[in-house]
Amino acid sequence: MKHSLKVGFSFGLTSGIITTLGLMVGLNSGTNSKLAVLGGILTIALADAFSDALGIHVSEESENTHNAKEIWESTLSTFFFKFIIASSFIIPVLLLGLTPAIIVSIVYGLFLLTVLSYTMAKNQNTKPWKVILEHLSIALIVILAAQYLGEWISMTFG
């Protein structure tokens, strides 16, 4: 896979999973509102995909090692993958009750992150379990922090 597409794919997938799960869990624990969670997912899918794409664009430009075509490939692929992955979390929320949808989304997101981490480790000839454990640990920290933050917000301001 070309470097520019790999950047967009890996960043968009990872950010789409972590950001969306954090938002979903936080909004659920803070509001217990399906509407709030759906609105949050849609907002993340669009606004954060644009934000991440611009961040990758500026980052790639600042390296001075990529031509304009490669930079735009990274930018557009980041937007595309972030948008698609974040949007995919809408499906369980629409099909299930909110609590089961959150659980299914966490399992789905951690599964995708595991597959990406495994593939990256194999491509880099490193031990997959170390990469998987590192990435899943970070994801779980985000999920737990969002859960407790949502609860705190609900107790403090609700």
pLDDT by 10-residue block (mean), the chain, 158 residues: 86 95 97 97 96 93 88 93 97 98 98 96 94 97 97 92
Contacts 24+ apart (CB under 8 A), 44-49: 44/19, 44/20, 44/86, 45/20, 45/82, 45/83, 45/86, 45/87, 45/90, 46/83, 48/15, 48/19, 48/82, 48/86, 49/12, 49/16, 49/78, 49/79, 49/82, 49/83, 49/86
pLDDT at 102: 98
pLDDT at 77: 95
Contact between 17 and 113 under an 8 Å Cβ cutoff? The reply is yes
pLDDT at 65: 87
**pTM to 2 decimal places:** 0.93
Nearest to 139 by CA among 9, 40, 13, 3: 13
pLDDT at 4: 83
